[in-house]
Structure 1
């Protein structure tokens, strides 16, 4: 199943009317997505895969903030460096290409951390499996759909 279709199928299991929206223009970066969707960059939810010594973890945060690696390491209780995987490893673990990494409908079960920065917005737009697809969700829905944990990880 194609990644965008996998996201659609996954979302259909929930009692929300969350739809995947596909565009002709790129939504690959937070800036591209904000321009394409017509919202501010902070309203774009970016999902980043980190590799720790204990395994992979996904962090979803507002597009206008950076993830604090020191906060992330402290939250996870890990020491050592956090690594950002290349495109091939990201695709292998998540099942999604860079620019389309979604924090649910994952190929491999990975812990998901949701940053509090997104609570500023009633709706955020999250990558939906491809570099031209998004879905509008609120933070509460995102927490339920991902079985994620709300944390303060922005720096």
Structure 2
């Protein structure tokens, strides 16, 4: 049995949705939204950051524009209760199958709820990581929602109490 690289795994997954979607590979790692935007010549907001949070033994992945901060109350509301915090690097790799800085929001190791922030809706194309720090994947907002089977949220806003 051959083991696929993270980029091959992402590519195989997206091909089910749209064979035209191809990961873009760069020479250098793109560890931040700012670095990715600079390499692409795009706005920071077009870079979709994927952040794994944990509340107790539950995990959820939040995907937001690179220029948006995810409001802690939104994270707590998504979990329903409990104190939520960012997952450790080890937890990120175990749950998603990807290292921090390369987390693709789909083709995850474990099934976890995914929440996509509406801040990404303003761009015709957004770029997610594609499994390694030197990769980006161009997708539309609609394709991102379909591939992640995500719940849409407004991650920057505090939910009404």
TM-score band (shorter)? Answer: over 0.9
Q: Secondary structure at the match of 2:29?
A: coil
Please list every run of 5 or more consecutive structure 1 residues that lacks an aligned counterpart in the other structure. none
CA distance in 1, matches of 2:152, 2:111: 18
**Considering only aligned residues, what root-mean-square deviation do their CA atoms show, in Å?**
1.2
CA shift digits 1:60-111 (9 cap, x unpaired): 00000100011221243213x2121221211011000111001101111111
Q: Secondary structure at the match of 2:86?
A: coil
**Pairing partner for 2:79 from 59, 76, 80:** 76
Q: Is the 8 A contact 1:96 1:129 kept in 2?
A: yes
Q: Is the 8 A contact 1:25 1:36 kept in 2?
A: no
CA distance in 2, matches of 1:54, 1:140: 30
Please list every run of 5 or more consecutive structure 2 residues that lacks an aligned counterpart in the other structure. none
Match of 1:63 in 2: 66
CA distance in 2, matches of 1:115, 1:137: 15
CA distance in 1, matches of 2:19, 2:67: 26
Q: Say whether residues 1:142 and 2:144 are aligned partners.
A: yes
**Pairing partner for 2:153 from 142, 151, 154:** 151
Q: Is the 8 A contact 1:44 1:62 kept in 2?
A: yes
TM-score, structure 1 normalization? 0.94
Q: Say whether residues 1:3 and 2:10 are aligned partners.
A: no
